[in-house]
Chain A
Amino acid sequence: GNSVTQMEGPVTLSEEAFLTINCTYTATGYPSLFWYVQYPGEGLQLLLKATKADDKGSNKGFEATYRKETTSFHLEKGSVQVSDSAVYFCALKSNNNDMRFGAGTRLTVKP
């Protein structure tokens, strides 16, 4: 079945450090890929998405590229801020509307 695997956390970085959160997926067909973010005490919200191979999703300085050859969708940001502290979820949606999430990676950014 479809599944998403993302790097385990927690991840702790200093402000302005470079961030990478790895995500790989297993799916049949051509899924859409997403990164969602959950700030403390809130529900999840969409951070960025990519719907086909080689697409790059970007938002708020975060980027992720849909790599079909490596079945990956790694999240990156060049310079993190304290306000980026949250839990990040990688997700996929298959052609039959089956939506799957990774386990989540908690990021803490220290001043």
Chain B
Amino acid sequence: KAGVTQTPRYLIKTRGQQVTLSCSPISGHRSVSWYQQTPGQGLQFLFEYFSETQRNKGNFPGRFSGRQFSNSRSEMNVSTLELGDSALYLCASSLAQGPNTGELFFGEGSRLTVL
């Protein structure tokens, strides 16, 4: 069974540009979550999508957005990039069947560097 696939793995952008990251969940998983990981802030929750609907959202500015497609693949977009957006962006999928199951399967991440 293929794992969670994130693309691209590495990318470099300059301030003011925008970026789109992609995540393909494990087959059959309908929930996709996104996290930002930085040395200073640790792992911070961005948003979660389930059946193409945003179900939860973290405390990030509106420059961060996402969506989920009917095949459960998800994309996140960051507009008007800032230096502080440099981070490892992790995607995780889960079956999300019933409450309190919660096991997340993570991809290897997309490492974004903003210059």
Contacts and interface: CB of A to CB of B under 8 A. Distances in A.
Interface string B29-53: 0010101000000110100101000
Interface residues of A, number: 25
B109 A43 contact: yes
A95 interface: yes
Interface stretch (A67-75, A77-85, A99-107): A99-107
B21 to A, nearest CB: 14
B101 interface: yes
Contact of A93 (B100, B105, B106): B100
A97 B35 contact: no
Contacts of A18: none
A25 interface: no
A46 B20 CA distance: 27
A51 B92 CA distance: 20
A30 B45 CA distance: 20
A43 B108 contact: yes
Interface of B: 4, 31, 33, 35, 42-43, 45, 48, 50, 55-56, 90, 92, 96, 99-109
